[in-house]
A and B are shown apart, each in its own frame.
Chain A
């Protein structure tokens, strides 16, 4: 892993067109600004990990549509 010391308003550049800038340094967190090309997805890693996990659970669950069809049936 590359490790940098950055101060407020400093940035790093990744590849062609991705910039990560330190906007604010607080007691509990660092506020970052990310500039990236429109085709490069940028997500908070823990949210992405949660969605990976939820997708795996969905794929591994039962695939019978009967129960859901019953729940959604018009009353």
Chain B
């Protein structure tokens, strides 16, 4: 992938162009990145992992992993507001992703508390903040 080619503060593209470019719309951005309203998923170099990369608004890129690969049996309840925001119908398959942090000392941690949920049928996404969660914000996979 070539992240250097992504210009900073790009303007939103028209809807038809966004679909063609596989841009997932985040109506509220992400907490801390509220101006990032469009993201694409890019394949990472290794392990079937992906990058969630901003293509509208400020540049930002996150290494992401399906939380079920990290925590078998992972489950998280969507609220009515989440389902409304993602326009979830009953039978849709949703994509669940957790943000990975690789800290300066080499510690690798995964955010299981607030997953990114994407509805591929609508190309809508948002970071879900469950009212109650069984999982930590910083689930350490490897100590640096």
Contacts and interface: CB of A to CB of B under 8 A. Distances in A.
Interface residues of A, number: 29
Interface residues of B, number: 40
11 contacts: A54-B99, A55-B30, A55-B32, A56-B32, A57-B103, A65-B45, A65-B46, A65-B49, A65-B63, A70-B46, A71-B108
Contacts of B101: 54, 57-58, 61
Interface stretch (A7-15, A19-27, A43-51): A43-51
Interface in A24-75: 38-39, 41, 43, 47-48, 50-59, 61-73
A32 B108 CA distance: 37
B32 A63 contact: no
Interface stretch (B11-19, B78-86, B88-96, B117-125): B78-86
Contact of B47 (A59, A63, A68): A68
Interface of B: 28, 30-33, 44-49, 51, 60-63, 65, 69-70, 80-81, 84-85, 99-104, 106, 108, 111, 113-114, 127, 129, 137-138, 141-142
A51 B31 contact: yes
Contact of B138 (A54, A59, A63, A71): A54
B46 A69 contact: yes
A41 B26 CA distance: 13
A61 to B, nearest CB: 4
Nearest to A37: B81
B137 A66 contact: no
Contacts of B108: 67-68, 71
Contact of B111 (A39, A58, A67): A58
- List the 8 shortest-distance A-B pairs measured between CB atoms, nearest first: A69-B47, A52-B32, A69-B46, A65-B44, A62-B102, A55-B32, A58-B99, A61-B102
